[in-house]
Amino acid sequence: MNYQNTLAFAQEQDRNDPLHHFKERFYFPQVNRQDAIYFCGNSLGLQPKSAQMYIDNEMYKWANMAVEGHFKGEEPWFNYHELLAGGAARVVGAKDNEVVIMNQLTVNLHLMLVSFYRPAGRRFKIITEAGAFPSDQYALESQTRFHGYNPEEAIVELFPREGEHTLRTEDILASIKAHGEELALVMMGGINYYTGQVFDMKAITKAGHAAGAFVGFDLAHAAGNIPMQLHDWEVDFAVWCTYKYLNSGPGGVAGIYVHERFANDPDIPRFAGWWGHDAKERFKMKKGFMPMEGAPGWQLSNGQILPMAVHRAALQLFGEAGMDNLRTKSEQLTGYLAFLIDDVPGGEELLEMITPRDPQARGCQISLLVKQNARQLFDMLMEAGIIVDYREPNVIRVAPTPLYNSFEEVYRFSEILHQCLQRH
């Protein structure tokens, strides 16, 4: 696309955008009595207007059916999670029985590590990216200690080359090969939360398996952001939250993926709960855990119906829009954003884009390293009605999301950024 730094160009792109109408299906926060330009879906997605209806449906059932809502009505709570499986599977590129919506992300990560971090003999090491989101770091640290290892020895962190901000795929694969005989697990983010870099999950999975290790991903910043094919890539497991790009509410319910080759393996280690027990036998209340087939066999407790109802509303929107269509627009939006940032007078002296320049190597987010007074610039943007995200020590994350953001918003952001830099 030949970008132009004009409002007319941005408005023309919006007129030709087949997804532009989705913007009307979300609520936007107000700043100075106007809709904010909301580029913070990488932290918390906006509320779908349909979410209230989905919640109200379940509140009505609770009021009028009480406990009978578990088994009666058109959509009993007993198997409510099944209503979400298809939509969630399409988001991550999996089969329906390979995903289940449950718990929250870090709980799910620990459950997956119980099953897929099984150090034995020389194989005890975990490879992950340096600067992973803290929840991942803490989970890996505690799991290695639980098994009796020193995290400093068991966890291999991958750092970018000197003078670079992102990891090279060849360096990731070389490290996997180098640690092969000692490697138990490769566990990385699908997208790095700080830089916005998309990792080559297919290549990483292939290399990890060749080394004899399990491979899993935290998709907190990837689910609803980029198309994936977890099943075809033969990823062993993955976890994700739903409150970022999936727009399912603060602290919303989370999801897991487990490849179908583990679907009927009752002997795989796991922390069991009664909602993961064979549904036909569950209410007999007998001893002896018999897991449900597939990912649902990792469930612990009965479903969080109200958060699931919000997620159901969000998944409907993703089903209508389509991940491939969203990805096409996302690459155009971030391409336009990068073009405009490069065109801001004086911006090159104060801003450095640490997100990959290749659109296919990034998601919706562009991270800007601010060389002077980063917090001041962030505050100025927020006061001007631009809701973005700040990460210590000096990075502003800007995330135009294709489901509800527009080219005109990207253009107006660049105008306001220019004005702020002049006063910065």
Domains in the chain: ranges and CATH: 7-35+323-423 (3.90.1150.10), 55-319 (3.40.640.10)
For the stretch 33-73, pLDDT in tens is 899 999 999 999 999 999 999 999 999 999 999 999 999 98
Grade residue 422 by pLDDT with cuts at 50, 70 and 90. Answer: confident
| Spatial separation of the C-alpha atoms in residues 59 and 36, rounded to whole Å | 31
Tell me what pLDDT residue 1 has.
83
Is the N-terminal amide bond of 393 cis, ω within 30° of 0? yes
Helix (H) or strand (E) holding 127: strand 125-129
| Spatial separation of the C-alpha atoms in residues 25 and 224, rounded to whole Å | 17
Instruction: Tell me what the pLDDT averaged over the chain comes to.
Output: 96
Residue recorded with tokens 């497991």: 237
Tell me what pLDDT residue 319 has.
97
φ/ψ of residue 339, rounded to 5: -60, -45
200-224 burial by CB neighbour count: b if 16+ within 10 A, else e? Answer: bbeebbbbbbebebbbbbbbbbbbb
φ/ψ of residue 246, rounded to 5: -90, 0
CA-nearest of 317, 319, 331, 321 to 407 is 331
Is residue 245 within 8 Å of 40, Cβ to Cβ? no
pLDDT over 90 (residue 120): yes
| Spatial separation of the C-alpha atoms in residues 49 and 313, rounded to whole Å | 9
The β-bridge relationship of strands 183-189 and 155-158 is: unpaired
pLDDT over 80 (residue 337): yes
pLDDT over 90 (residue 349): no
Write down the pTM of the prediction: 0.96
Structure tokens at 294: 């597939």
316 phi-psi bin (left φ>0, alpha ψ -120 to 50, beta other) = alpha
Tell me what pLDDT residue 160 has.
98
Tell me what pLDDT residue 205 has.
98
